[in-house]
Structure formats: structure tokens, C-alpha cells
Amino acid sequence: MDTTRWKSILVPREVYEEIKELSKNEGRTIGGQLRLVFDWYRDSKKGSADDNQGDRAVSQKIGGKPVPKVRAKA
């Protein structure tokens, strides 16, 4: 693997399985799904800093598609 372009990450098995299922349902690779989630997170943090309102409601749509809610397993 070309480590100048790609990195492996460790995630709990449950998180991996859920990301894998989400990516399959949305027609993306696992890397593509992680990028989407990261972009959503980054944009939500940027919006919070820009409007100086702290915990505000964040739009749940990216590129016209709703962002699926990830359930925590107890």
C-alpha cells in the first residue's frame, strides 16, 4: 500500500459494520462514506464557530441526500 496516499485506521468492529452497511446502501465505498461523514462533521463545526451560537441545529442533508442517523449499540 502506498502510505503517502492511504492510511489504515482502527475502529471498533460495530462501527465498521455499520459504516459498511451505510456505504453499501448508498452505493459508496467505505472510504467514500467516511469522507462524507467527515465532511458533514467538519461543516457542522465550521457553522457553529461562524454563527457563534454553540449547539445549534445542523442540517441533516448533504448534496441533497439525507444523512443517515448512526445508532449507538448498547
Average pLDDT of every residue of the chain: 78
pLDDT value of residue 42? 93
- List of residues 6+ apart from 15 with CB closer than 8 A: none
**Confidence bin at 48 (pLDDT 50/70/90):** confident
Which residues on adjacent β-strands are paired with residue 61? 66
Strand partners, 41: none
pTM of the model: 0.57
State the amino acid at position 63 in one-letter form. Answer: G
Q: Environment class of residue 44 by beta-carbon count within 10 Å: exposed (0-12), middle (13-18) or buried (19+)?
A: middle
Q: Which residues pair with 62 in a beta bridge?
A: 65
Summarize the confidence of residues 18-46 as an average pLDDT.
93
